[in-house]
Chains A and B, each alone.
Chain A
């Protein structure tokens, strides 16, 4: 699965969690740019991503995700593992 496909799959998850149907994902997007993206919804997002891609994150992975780009990179590395 390449980056574009991952972003395509992530978009509906993000839109559902943050209740925003016009949200467009980009590498540089951070929690500060999205309404309702706080420490509470972040964990819901993580869980949805894990279920949807059937991967498991580690706590350490979470600290490294500074934006959507980092998130996609982490997902790619998990899918390859």
Chain B
């Protein structure tokens, strides 16, 4: 079941009523049953994998908490991380690895025992695996208490709003809310509905409409000229933002309706003035997870190399981030580019700050706009590797952009007009929230009339120009 399906619109209200009438100490059971029902509805057999990951995590974290022996602790930590990562590696990378070896062996006329294969990725596995690992490390570091009730841990790993695409939550935030469910909070309930509504708008209207153009161009790279490829490449970051950002808002909103608070995933990323700021605003839950569990341990162990240790840690972290997105060379290049951008900033940070202070640039509007545009361009360039089917396509896109200008392909007028209206609305809201907070309130307006008109308008837009039957989010494939 996905948020944009008709089934979900029936499932969720029923669950919300059931949840709020369930006595407090049994609430976790209602949520756990709902979460497995939600997941089983997608593909039943993969629920066993989810249960398996939960069970080993529960077992080894209880062992970690029980033993006083530091070496045993470390051993249990390592075993659990390996066990939890195995299915992820198998389903995500084994197929690619096998097929590469298969092709290579064929070229040498050697028989490789396994035929070419395509494994269907168990949906959400990249997300719940990270949550399970994060929990294990937190227990090992004694940052949180171990959860002895396997049911509550199972709920943390499988919590249905988050399981398909995050935000990648932390046990320290979620477990207390599942153990002692917060009492009904009307404001949070309403806030959740508003967030979900805006999330649906971002996904069904903005992401889908922009996606029509981007897919038309990127689906047939060889038939499009540089101008169209450039436009599609500049639109794609907005599409991903509306897609994953919209999904995240629905997830957060749905959790809020159930009284559960969830960390944010995006913070108006296109107003970032540097790549490091951008990565504090874009897919925040993934980046903060990678910072805590990959980058910090790495940079700590490389710290005697000073700034170069940091550069190395950054490169490795973003390589992992790239490969996490998919087993393809395009994602490796994507990760490398982020690493290079951030390392360059780290190396020049002091000089840049001194320069900005000297000329008081941080107060000059033109300079702020300039840094935002540069950041957006850099990210768009890297996203060409995130979007292209393969490296050849990506390089073709670059070649065409620089050598093959021509008349712009705009697609059917409706696509262009609807896409522009949708994106303008989204960016207008982000712009006012960023620079004039509290000035142009719509969903939060104190006047009931404005609020009602805003809700109605967004609902009408969803029904009128939203694409209601696609049902696929970009991040489901990761």
Chain A residue numbers with a CB within 8 Å of B141 are 60, 63
Chain B residue numbers with a CB within 8 Å of A47 are 303-304, 306
Query: 8 Å CB contacts to B: which residues of A32-81?
Result: 35-36, 38-41, 43-44, 46-47, 50, 59-60, 62-63
Chain A residue numbers with a CB within 8 Å of B296 are 39, 43, 59, 62
Chain B residue numbers with a CB within 8 Å of A35 are 353
Contact with A along B120-151 (1 / 0, CB 8 A): 00000000000000000000011100000000
B405: interface (CB < 8 Å): no
A50 to chain B, nearest CB (A): 8
Do A46 and B303 have beta carbons less than 8 Å apart?
A: yes
B363: interface (CB < 8 Å): no
B477: interface (CB < 8 Å): no
Chain A residue numbers with a CB within 8 Å of B309 are 43
B384: interface (CB < 8 Å): no
Do A62 and B300 have beta carbons less than 8 Å apart?
A: yes
Do B143 and A43 have beta carbons less than 8 Å apart?
A: no
Contact among B295, B310, B314, B353 with A44 in the assembled complex (CB-CB below 8 Å):
B310
Chain A residue numbers with a CB within 8 Å of B313 are 43
Q: How far is the CA of A35 from the CA of B291 in the complex (A)?
A: 19
B299: interface (CB < 8 Å): yes
B297: interface (CB < 8 Å): yes
Do B276 and A59 have beta carbons less than 8 Å apart?
A: no
B94 to chain A, nearest CB (A): 31
Q: How far is the CA of A40 from the CA of B297 in the complex (A)?
A: 12
A56 to chain B, nearest CB (A): 10
Do B297 and A59 have beta carbons less than 8 Å apart?
A: yes
Known A19-B353, A44-B307, A47-B306; contact A38-B299, beta-carbon cutoff 8 A: no
Chain B residue numbers with a CB within 8 Å of A63 are 141, 143
| Nearest residue, chain A, Cβ from B287 | A39
B118: interface (CB < 8 Å): no
Chain B residue numbers with a CB within 8 Å of A60 are 141-142
Question: How many residues on A have C-beta within 8 angstroms of the other chain's C-beta atoms?
Answer: 16
Q: How far is the CA of A62 from the CA of B143 in the complex (A)?
A: 12
Query: 8 Å CB contacts to A: which residues of B246-261?
Result: none
| Nearest residue, chain B, Cβ from A46 | B303
Q: How far is the CA of A60 from the CA of B295 in the complex (A)?
A: 14
Chain B residue numbers with a CB within 8 Å of A43 are 296, 299-300, 303, 309-310, 313
Number of A-B contacts (CB under 8 A): 45
Q: How far is the CA of A60 from the CA of B310 in the complex (A)?
A: 19
A40 to chain B, nearest CB (A): 5
Do B300 and A40 have beta carbons less than 8 Å apart?
A: no
Chain A residue numbers with a CB within 8 Å of B346 are 40
Q: How far is the CA of A19 from the CA of B352 in the complex (A)?
A: 11
B114: interface (CB < 8 Å): no
B272 to chain A, nearest CB (A): 13
Chain B residue numbers with a CB within 8 Å of A46 are 300, 303
Q: How far is the CA of A44 from the CA of B347 in the complex (A)?
A: 12
Do B354 and A40 have beta carbons less than 8 Å apart?
A: no
Known A44-B310, A60-B141, A63-B143; contact A36-B349, beta-carbon cutoff 8 A: yes
B410 to chain A, nearest CB (A): 41
Q: How far is the CA of A29 from the CA of B212 in the complex (A)?
A: 49
Q: How far is the CA of A47 from the CA of B280 in the complex (A)?
A: 23
| Nearest residue, chain A, Cβ from B280 | A38
B350: interface (CB < 8 Å): yes
**Which residue, A38, A39, A46, A63, has most C-beta atoms of chain B within 10 A?**
A39
Do A39 and B295 have beta carbons less than 8 Å apart?
A: yes
**Which residue, B141, B295, B300, B306, has most C-beta atoms of chain A within 10 A?**
B300
Q: How far is the CA of A63 from the CA of B349 in the complex (A)?
A: 25
Chain A residue numbers with a CB within 8 Å of B354 are 19
B300 to chain A, nearest CB (A): 5
Query: 8 Å CB contacts to A: which residues of B271-318?
Result: 276, 280, 291, 295-297, 299-300, 303-304, 306-307, 309-310, 313-314
| Nearest residue, chain B, Cβ from A57 | B300
B453 to chain A, nearest CB (A): 37
Do B276 and A38 have beta carbons less than 8 Å apart?
A: yes
Q: How far is the CA of A47 from the CA of B7 in the complex (A)?
A: 54
Chain A residue numbers with a CB within 8 Å of B295 are 39
Q: How far is the CA of A19 from the CA of B297 in the complex (A)?
A: 25
A64 to chain B, nearest CB (A): 9
B380 to chain A, nearest CB (A): 23
| Nearest residue, chain A, Cβ from B276 | A38
Chain B residue numbers with a CB within 8 Å of A41 are 349
Chain A residue numbers with a CB within 8 Å of B280 are 38
9 CB contacts below 8 A, A to B, read A19-B353, A40-B299, A40-B346, A43-B296, A43-B310, A44-B306, A47-B303, A59-B296, A62-B296
Q: Give the top 7 A-B pairs by smallest Cβ distance, nearest first.
A: A43-B299, A47-B303, A40-B346, A59-B300, A19-B350, A39-B291, A40-B310
Instruction: Kindly list 6 other residue pairs between chains A and B, CB separation below 8 angstroms, not including A36-B353, A40-B314.
Output: A19-B353, A35-B353, A43-B309, A44-B306, A44-B310, A59-B296
